[in-house]
Amino acid sequence: LKDGDGKPLHYDKMFYIGENDLYVPKDENGKYKTYETPGESYADTMEVARKLIPTHEVFNGSVGALTGKNALTAKVGETVMIVHSQANRDTRPHLIGGHGDY
């Protein structure tokens, strides 16, 4: 990446945030179903996924993956690049603080 004058940008840190939609089948009582093997869950999971309404949304693969000891941290004055991905729909993280300051 380059700035408006063509000079390379420098970042002190880079963070990747993957946003994942999970589709977990439920039984007739609304409880999540369990299966002996992933293959056994395929048909039910595909039925849930076709509706495009996720049962869970997580960042970096699991609940709490970016909190506590895994929190994304930076010091005042550090420059950070954040790469965000979400394969299924258009979402945009809302950052707190200065951004796009180059």
Do 15 and 81 meet the contact criterion of CB atoms below 8 Å apart? yes
Which residues 6+ apart lie within 8 Å of 26 measured at CB? 32, 33, 48, 55
Looking at residue 6, its pLDDT comes to 93
Structure tokens at 95: 């950052």
Edge-to-edge order in the sheet of strand 80-85:
56-59, 13-22, 80-85
For 18, other C-beta atoms within 10 Å of its C-beta total 14
pLDDT tens-digit readout, 15-64: 999 999 999 999 999 999 999 999 999 999 999 999 989 999 999 989 99
**CA nearest 23: which of 7, 3, 44?**
44
Please, is 82 exposed, middle or buried when counting C-beta atoms within 10 Å of its C-beta (0-12, 13-18, 19+)? middle
Delineate the domains of the chain, giving CATH numbers in brackets. 13-85 (2.60.40.420)
Q: How confident is the model at residue 94 (pLDDT cuts 50, 70, 90)?
A: confident
